[in-house]
C-alpha cells in the first residue's frame, strides 16, 4: 500500500542508479515498496521519464513479499489499456526486484479533491473520471490467459490516490500491487486485509472472498467523494442529499454501487461505463479528455516539462545530429543560439565566390550587354550594319553595374527576344531584271555566235585567251 502524499525526507532527492535507470528523486514510500521518478536513457539521445517501484531494502529478503511483487508483474503483463498505467520493464538490482511503469504527468484525484475543498469536483469532471476508471476496470476484469480462461483479476485498491488524471486529459488507473488473480501464489490468510479500509467493500473489509463487484463498490465510494467532497456516511448513501444539483440518474447509480450486498450492485464495470456515458449524454455533460485537460490547466496551470525540472544526470555532452552547411553559412553564423535576424548579410556576401558563381556572373553580364543593344538596333532602322562596339580585353568588370542601371531605366518590351549571337549580314545587291518569258510555247534556245578566225597580228579575244594555257 503506497502513501504518495507522505512528506519527503531530506534524502529523497539523492540521485543514484538502479539498473539502467538514473534515479531523480523518491516520490513515495509505503509499507512494502518505494516509488522513484527515474529517467531511462539510450543511444542517439533517447530519453524517457519513468516511474520505478522497488521493494524496500529491509523487506527484500522476505519471501512472501517477493512473491507478491512477482504476482504484480505477472498481472501487469496481461494489461494493456489506455486507462491503465503500463508496466514497461521488470528487473532486479543487487537482489532487489523492481518494476518500471510509465510516467503520467498530471494530478491524482486526491490532489483534485484537496484543491476543490468541501464543494467537490464539477459534476461533469467527476463523471468523466469515473468513466475512465470504469473502462480500465472492465479491461482488467475481462482479461483471459493464453488458453482463454478468465484470469479473475480484482484490483482491490481503487482509491483517489490510485486514479491519475493526466494533463493530456486521459485517466489512468494505477497500482495493481495488491491485485488478486487466479493462479497467484500468494494466498490471502484469514483476517488479512489488503487495500485502504475507507474504500473497501464490506466483504473485502471482512477478509471474505471478493470478485469484480468489490472494485465497483470502491468506484462508487470514489465517485461519491468527487461529487460531495466527503466520503459516504454508509452503504447506499445518496450524493443528491448533500448536493441537490446531482442528476437523479447519477444519484441512483451511485446508490447501487454502494450497496452492501454484491448482488445489489451492477454486474460489471462495462455496465457502469455504459450507464455513465448515457447520463453524460442525457444531461449534456462535457466528459471528454479536452474538458479534463482544460480543468487541470485552469486549476494548476500548464505542466512544467519534466526535463527542465530534472538535474543533470550525465556528465557527457548530449548527442547532436550532424548538419552539413556551406562555407558562407559558417562565416555568417557563429553560434547555434544566435537568432537568425542577427546574422549580417554583408558577412555572407564577403565569402569567397566559387567557380560556378563566377561563371553565372559573366553570363549575366553578357545577357545585360545583349539586352542593351536591343534599343540601339531598334533605333537604327534600315542601316546595313550595327555600330561596332569596342571592348578592350583588359577592361575591368566593375563598369558592369553602371550598364545594368542604364538598361533598367530604358523601357523594355514585355517579352524581349533572345540575344543575337551573330551580327546581321549586309543588304544583298539588287537583283537583275529577267527578260519576260514568251506567252506561249517553249522559249527558243539562243544560237551561238560564230567565233572569228584567229589572226596573229590582232589582239586575242577573251574567249581565245582562255584556251591558251600558260
Any idea which residues carry the catalytic annotation?
157
Grid look-up 472472498 returns 209
175: left (phi over 0), alpha (psi -120 to 50) or beta: left
Euclidean distance between CA atoms 202 and 214, whole angstroms: 8
- The contacts of residue 365 (CB under 8 Å, 6+ apart) are 397, 400
**What are the cell numbers at 372?**
542593351
Polymer length in residues for the chain: 470
For residue 57, what is the DSSP state?
G
Q: Where are the alpha helices (DSSP H) in 236-353?
A: 248-257, 269-282, 289-300, 306-309, 327-332, 345-349
Contacts with 337 (C-beta within 8 Å, 6 or more apart), sequence order: none
Sign of torsion, CA 108 165 52 311?
Answer: negative
Crossing angle between the packed helical segments 123-141 and 269-282, to the nearest 10 degrees: 150
C-alpha 139/C-alpha 179 separation (Å) is 14
Angle (CA) 195-197-200 rounded to 5° is 75
Angstrom distance (rounded) from CA 187 to CA 191: 12
- The answer to whether 368 and 416 are in contact (CB under 8 A) is no
CA end-to-end span of the chain, whole Å? 133
CA 54 to chain centre: 32
Amino acid at each position: 500500500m503506497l502513501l504518495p502524499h507522505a512528506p519527503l525526507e531530506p534524502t529523497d532527492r539523492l540521485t543514484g542508479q538502479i539498473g539502467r535507470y538514473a534515479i531523480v528523486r523518491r516520490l513515495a514510500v509505503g509499507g512494502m515498496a518505494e516509488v522513484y521518478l527515474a529517467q531511462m536513457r539510450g543511444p542517439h539521445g533517447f530519453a524517457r521519464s519513468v516511474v520505478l517501484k522497488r521493494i524496500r531494502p529491509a523487506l527484500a529478503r522476505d519471501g512472501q513479499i517477493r512473491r507478491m511483487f512477482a504476482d504484480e508483474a505477472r498481472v501487469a503483463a496481461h494489461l494493456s489499456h489506455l486507462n491503465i498505467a503500463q508496466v514497461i520493464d521488470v528487473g532486479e538490482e543487487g537482489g532487489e526486484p523492481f518494476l518500471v511503469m510509465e510516467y503520467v504527468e498530471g494530478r491524482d484525484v486526491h490532489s483534485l479533491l484537496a484543491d476543490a475543498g468541501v464543494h467537490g469536483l464539477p459534476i461533469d469532471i467527476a463523471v468523466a473520471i469515473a468513466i475512465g476508471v470504469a473502462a480500465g476496470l472492465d479491461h482488467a476484469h475481462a482479461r483471459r490467459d493464453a488458453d482463454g480462461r478468465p484470469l479473475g483479476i480484482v484490483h482491490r485498491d481503487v482509491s483517489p490516490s490510485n486514479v491519475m488524471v493526466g494533463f493530456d486529459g486521459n485517466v489512468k488507473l494505477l497500482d495493481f500491487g495488491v491485485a488478486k488473480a487466479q493462479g497467484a501464489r500468494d494466498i490471502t490468510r484469514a483476517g488479512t486485509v489488503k487495500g485502504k479500509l475507507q474504500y473497501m467493500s464490506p466483504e473485502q473489509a471482512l477478509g471474505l472472498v471478493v470478485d469484480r463487484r468489490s472494485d465497483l463498490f470502491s468506484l462508487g465510494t470514489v465517485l461519491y467523494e468527487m461529487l460531495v467532497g466527503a466520503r459516504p456516511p454508509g452503504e447506499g448513501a445518496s450524493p443528491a442529499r448533500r448536493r441537490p444539483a446531482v442528476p437523479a440518474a447519477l444519484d441512483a447509480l451511485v446508490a447501487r454501487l454502494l450497496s452492501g450486498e454484491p448482488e445489489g450492485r451492477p454486474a460489471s464495470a462495462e455496465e457502469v461505463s455504459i450507464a455513465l456515458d448515457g447520463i453524460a449524454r442525457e444531461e449534456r455533460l462535457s466528459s471528454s479528455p479536452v474538458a479534463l485537460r482544460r480543468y487541470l490547466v485552469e486549476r494548476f496551470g500548464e505542466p512544467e516539462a519534466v526535463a527542465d525540472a530534472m538535474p543533470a544526470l550525465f556528465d557527457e555532452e548530449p548527442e547532436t545530429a550532424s548538419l552539413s552547411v556551406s562555407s558562407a553559412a559558417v562565416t555568417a553564423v557563429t553560434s547555434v543560439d544566435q537568432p537568425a535576424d542577427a546574422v549580417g548579410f554583408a558577412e555572407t556576401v564577403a565569402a569567397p565566390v566559387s567557380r560556378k558563381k563566377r561563371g553565372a556572373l559573366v553570363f549575366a553580364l553578357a545577357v545585360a550587354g545583349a539586352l542593351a543593344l536591343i534599343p540601339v538596333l531598334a533605333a537604327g532602322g534600315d542601316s546595313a550594319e550595327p555600330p561596332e562596339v569596342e571592348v578592350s580585353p583588359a577592361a575591368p568588370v566593375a563598369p558592369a553595374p553602371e550598364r545594368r542601371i542604364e538598361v533598367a531605366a530604358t523601357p523594355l518590351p514585355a517579352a524581349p527576344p533572345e540575344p543575337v549571337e551573330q551580327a546581321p549580314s549586309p543588304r544583298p545587291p539588287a537583283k537583275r531584271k529577267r527578260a519576260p518569258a514568251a506567252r506561249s510555247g517553249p522559249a527558243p534556245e539562243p544560237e551561238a555566235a560564230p567565233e572569228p578566225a584567229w589572226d596573229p597580228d590582232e589582239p586575242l579575244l577573251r574567249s581565245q585567251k582562255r584556251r591558251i594555257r600558260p
